Structure 1
Amino acid sequence: MIYGIGTDICDVRRIRASLERHGPRFAEKVLCAPELATWQARSARWPERGVRYLATRFSAKEAFSKAIGLGMVMPMTWRACEIANLESGQPTVVLHGALRDWFAARGLRCHLSMSDESDYAASFCVVETFEQNSLMSGMS
């Protein structure tokens, strides 16, 4: 059953301006350690790729926070929500600390889609309740 849906569109130019104004502190506020390492590597090779990476992560975390109904209120924090990729390249949400515990206690799972173009990054997130019994009922 759907728990919540969230969507976000982010102006990449706004993210670029924030980076120019605040430097790496802005990225350090939004990204957790593995994301920050990826951002630094992409930025070193091609700065624009780093900006778009940060914009997609920003957008995905906003969409996720809306889907769980918390916005940016504890236990939802920028760095407790990691946007990673499965081996297939599919984006996935990896949660840390109190947010991970909050999410698990409600039996939730997340589906995430992200996209970016020159000026915009967009994300769509569906969070659903994970009922193991409903999975088993279809197996008889």
Structure 2
Amino acid sequence: MSVKRMDNVLLVVDDLEVTKAFFLELGLTLEGEATVEGPEVGRLIGLNDVRATIAMMRTPDGQGIELDKFHTPDAVRLGPVDAPVNALRYRRVMFAVDQIDALIARMVAHGAELIGEMQYGDTYRLAYIRGPEGIIVGLAEQLG
């Protein structure tokens, strides 16, 4: 057996509402939201007395991003929110997009920070933006 597909990516966040709004503005949809708690959850993730709210976001093609807000135990921040892209840890998620300029403008108006942008030959335009919780999102628009 081998990996069949990626199911989702988990992002632990402090402000669930602001982060959901950010991903909704990007074009994801909220599939559902629930509170999880209890000893079975704790055994699964290796923590005691777990209580968390999870929100499952979906891209138009069905890929998932799970946002978790821990109520107990408190989440632990490992470094600054605005850590650079080369900081050790998962640093970004990238989405294929259309109309990258309009999307960047909309996201900046929504509070995102444009980190940088470039064109990769005649195949892609790329941009990195930083959203709430320091989340870095890559945007890639295929050219031609």
| Fold conserved between structures, TM > 0.5 | no
TM-score of the two chains, using structure 2 as the length reference:
0.26
- Structure with greater strand percent: 2
- Structure with greater helix percent: 1
TM-score of the two chains, using structure 1 as the length reference:
0.26
